[in-house]
Amino acid sequence: MLKVGIVGGGIIGSSIATWLIGDGHEVTVYEREPEGLPASAGNASLIALPEIAPIASPGVLTAVPKWLLDPLGPLTLRWGDLPALTPWLLSFLAHATPGHGRHARAALTQLMTTALADHFAVGRIAGLEGHLRQTGYVSLHDSEASIASALHEAALAKAALGYDYVRLSPAEARTLVPELEGAFHAALHQPIYWMAANPLAILRAHQAFAVERGRRIASEVQQVTQHGDGIHIATASGSERYDRVVVAAGVWSRVLVRQLGLKVLLETERGYNTTYTDLGWNLPLPVGFADHGFIATPLVDGLRVGGAVELARPETSPNFARARAMREKMRRYVPSLPEGGTEWMGRRPSTPDSLPVISLHPRDNRIAFAFGHGHLGLTLSAVTARMVAGLILGREERAEAFSISRFQ
């Protein structure tokens, strides 16, 4: 039995804790805001198995200039934060190539192959049942160019993973989603998508399991240090020794990475949403508004409208006009959507090459890293937990595509 310290109690860190406890290890989770609402609490709830396309791609580059001209569009940049974001942005541009696209798709395919089975496996350990359901997913497209691009990506996902898809006319899409009363050009239906009934409930279940069967320290980690007798985690109240340590603290992982003598490019793609709990109606399945960068998803207790990307430092104040803009755009397609709802902003920790870090320290296999999942945090949480457990126990081979060594 190993004594393992995990820095970070979001969906990645909590899933890793569940997996390791299930393996019989002594686990302590450090989380500075145990009752907080991290990125995994407010995401679109999708288990997005076909999403193997990197964000960094030539197609995105052609759209970026137009998006940046719209401060409430699918992608915006807090210009005052540009100096801090420049290294990440330059690397993002460098990765927007066909060659990297092939590399990233192959790497993400590796993760998606077992992602769903791993969700059920880690769910069984935590005692979760009925928390996932297969709903399918419909994306709406306003032009022939937009639907053609989506069909191309769907074909690549089918070639890699075998997932079917079908193009729909507006009338066919309205048969699936009657609330779509507004105009659009075409739609894409992918039946393989699953949904979490409520992502916050899943997060809380893993957190509660870690508290019940392990230990949680509600404190900010100040430093992780290497010693001959183990790895030490220091907080304001003292230091404790562990056999293994996992750094899974989202964007704040970068501070600990630097302290451990390594480099990483990690910034936040901030997302906004609005959740309605008293509509009196809901969508039958998730709907994406492809040309506007957001999704509407039916949770078990309401409707969530959210997405888009805002590049900014973690501490920059929210701009909830972005949440309002998504609601206004959705009414073009679903006129019955009212005002109201509860607004939220979260920070997706993202790498410039669109691949997470799931890796051992290159010079110390007592330390593992798990962060940078971007839009796929919930989707990849369980497979990350299995891989990290395998890495620190020596039963999983290192995957170079996800290694932190690529930033050194």
Residue 45, in any domain of the structure:
no
Residue 391, SS3 per DSSP: helix
| Domain-ending residue, one of 306, 329, 347 | 347
Residue 196, in any domain of the structure:
no
Write the CATH number for 280. Answer: 3.30.9.10
* 175 and 36 share one domain: no
CA distances from 270 to 39, 100, 177, 406 (A): 9, 24, 28, 24
* 150 and 183 share one domain: yes
pLDDT band at 396 (very low <50, low <70, confident <90, very high): confident
* 103 and 214 share one domain: no
Answer yes or no: are the C-beta atoms of 296 and 303 closer than 8 Å. yes
Global pTM value: 0.95
pLDDT of residue 331: 96
* 96 and 178 share one domain: yes
Task: With CA atoms as reference, report the closest residue to 336 among 349, 344, 327, 345.
Answer: 327
pLDDT of residue 308: 81
CA–CA gap between residue 296 and residue 286 (Å, rounded):
6
Between 71 and 181, the more confident residue is 181
CA–CA gap between residue 193 and residue 46 (Å, rounded):
7
Residue 338, in any domain of the structure:
yes
* 273 and 400 share one domain: no
pLDDT band at 68 (very low <50, low <70, confident <90, very high): low
Strand partners, 240: 233
Answer yes or no: are the C-beta atoms of 308 and 271 closer than 8 Å. yes
Name the pairing type of β-strands 75-77 and 302-312: parallel
* 151 and 250 share one domain: no
pLDDT of residue 71: 66
Write the CATH number for 16. Answer: 3.50.50.60
CA–CA gap between residue 333 and residue 321 (Å, rounded):
19
Six-digit token string for 216? 């949680």
CA–CA gap between residue 389 and residue 377 (Å, rounded):
17
Between 319 and 15, the more confident residue is 15
Residue 124, in any domain of the structure:
no
Residue 189, Cα to own-chain centre: how many angstroms? 22
* 256 and 233 share one domain: yes
Residue 259, in any domain of the structure:
yes
What single-letter DSSP state applies at residue 39? G
Taking residues 318-330, report their average pLDDT. Answer: 92
Residue 74 pLDDT greater than 80, yes or no: no
pLDDT of residue 236: 94
Q: What does the mean pLDDT of the chain come to?
A: 93
| Domain-ending residue, one of 331, 347, 363 | 347
Taking residues 299-328, report their average pLDDT. Answer: 90
Number of domains in the chain: 2
Per-range mean pLDDT, top range of 54-58, 309-313, 367-371? 367-371
Q: Which domain holds residue 235?
A: 3-40+201-265+354-407
* 359 and 226 share one domain: yes
* 25 backbone dihedrals φ, ψ, rounded to 5°: -100, 160
Taking residues 206-227, report their average pLDDT. Answer: 96
Residue 43 pLDDT greater than 90, yes or no: no
* 155 and 207 share one domain: no
Residue 118, in any domain of the structure:
no
pLDDT band at 69 (very low <50, low <70, confident <90, very high): low
| Domain-ending residue, one of 300, 318, 347 | 347
pLDDT of residue 37: 78
Residue 249 pLDDT greater than 80, yes or no: yes
* 288 and 402 share one domain: no
Lowest mean pLDDT among 62-71, 91-100, 296-305: 62-71
* 149 and 293 share one domain: yes
pLDDT digits (tens, 9 = 90+) for 255-275: 999 999 999 999 998 889 999
pLDDT digits (tens, 9 = 90+) for 81-105: 889 999 999 999 899 999 999 999 9
* 228 and 375 share one domain: yes
pLDDT of residue 141: 98
Residue 373, in any domain of the structure:
yes
pLDDT digits (tens, 9 = 90+) for 146-178: 999 999 999 999 999 999 999 999 999 999 999
Task: With CA atoms as reference, report the closest residue to 273 among 303, 313, 239.
Answer: 303
CA–CA gap between residue 210 and residue 122 (Å, rounded):
12
Residue 318, in any domain of the structure:
yes
